[in-house]
Amino acid sequence: MTENNSIPSGGAALELRALRREFGDKVAVDDIDLVVPTGSFYGVVGPNGAGKTTALSMAVGLLRPSSGAAFVLGLDVWSDPVEAKRRLGVLPDGLALPERLTGGELLTYWGRFRGMPADVVAARAAELLRILELEEAESLGTLVGEYSTGMRKKIGLATALLHSPRVLVLDEPYEAVDPVSARVLTRILRRFTETGGSVIISSHVMALVEQLCDHVAIVADGKVIAQGTLDEVRGGRSLDDRFVELVGAPEVGEEELAWIGG
């Protein structure tokens, strides 16, 4: 961590300062600066391989940065991890879950691991399973290893919410989630921001980000190429058009892929 990174952050929900990660010769995240205001619903968008997951993993203490710093509500994630993580709820990409537990057992284990009282864990776990429509699977004793992709996403979200964090960092939370559950999730996240919580999601679905988020960052090639309020970033156009304009799209010529359907 460099010297100017030791100055305490001003209390933004999440602040990234010159955050960088290299994998060998590849610069996956190239000195990213990002400020997520408290109470915002923040969308991080970018093409495949742009560095979103790498940046968010470093921001929440799951992947060590090559350099730079990340702060959650003013707490340095890497020098004060216990306090920072207490305030954080995280849905990582490709979440590894204990396969031999039911969803309810997983939440119980998770809550106790976080030092929560048993009765609080039991009440919240039951409520989350009901609201996220995992109650039937629980009553059948379905193990997490037998869950569908969308169910895994939902139980991952439940673990992120269980300890009532103030900042949620969710990597692709809507991916593989059915439309009914997506609505439930949106209601939960909206209520979360209405009560002063902050949500950061990554997504490839521009319409979803436009509908949900009040702030957006566009990441490409390891850099933040635009950030601000949704209106500032899209500048009077759709987010989709602005995204393509900034990121560029490869042309597909008449002759290319002519063999498809031929």
Ligand X SMILES: Nc1ncnc2c1ncn2[C@@H]1O[C@H](COP(=O)(O)OP(=O)(O)OP(=O)(O)O)[C@@H](O)[C@H]1O
**Applying CB under 6 A, which residues contact ligand X?**
23, 26, 28, 46, 48-54
215/186 Cα distance (integer angstroms):
16
Picking from 61, 56, 35, 37, the residue whose alpha carbon sits closest to that of residue 45 is 56
Taking the least distance from each CB to ligand X, the nearer of 25 and 119 is: 25
Taking the least distance from each CB to ligand X, the nearer of 176 and 184 is: 176
247: tokens are: 């990121």
Taking the least distance from each CB to ligand X, the nearer of 93 and 133 is: 93
Q: What's the closest the beta carbon of residue 224 comes to ligand X, in angstroms?
A: 12
Q: What's the closest the beta carbon of residue 68 comes to ligand X, in angstroms?
A: 15
Residue 3 DSSP one-character state: G
168: tokens are: 């949620």
Amino acid, single-letter form, for residue 236: G
Taking the least distance from each CB to ligand X, the nearer of 80 and 221 is: 221
252: tokens are: 């597909």
Taking the least distance from each CB to ligand X, the nearer of 26 and 130 is: 26
Q: What's the closest the beta carbon of residue 222 comes to ligand X, in angstroms?
A: 7
Q: State the sign of the Cα–Cα–Cα–Cα dihedral 110, 112, 118, 124.
A: negative
Residue 254 DSSP one-character state: T
What SS3 class is residue 251? Answer: coil
Q: What's the closest the beta carbon of residue 175 comes to ligand X, in angstroms?
A: 10
What SS3 class is residue 212? Answer: helix
Amino acid, single-letter form, for residue 51: G
Q: What's the closest the beta carbon of residue 122 comes to ligand X, in angstroms?
A: 35
Taking the least distance from each CB to ligand X, the nearer of 4 and 48 is: 48
Size (the chain), residues: 262
Q: What's the closest the beta carbon of residue 227 comes to ligand X, in angstroms?
A: 15
Burial code (b: 16+ CB inside 10 Å, e: under 16) for 99-114 equals: eebbbbbbbbebbeee
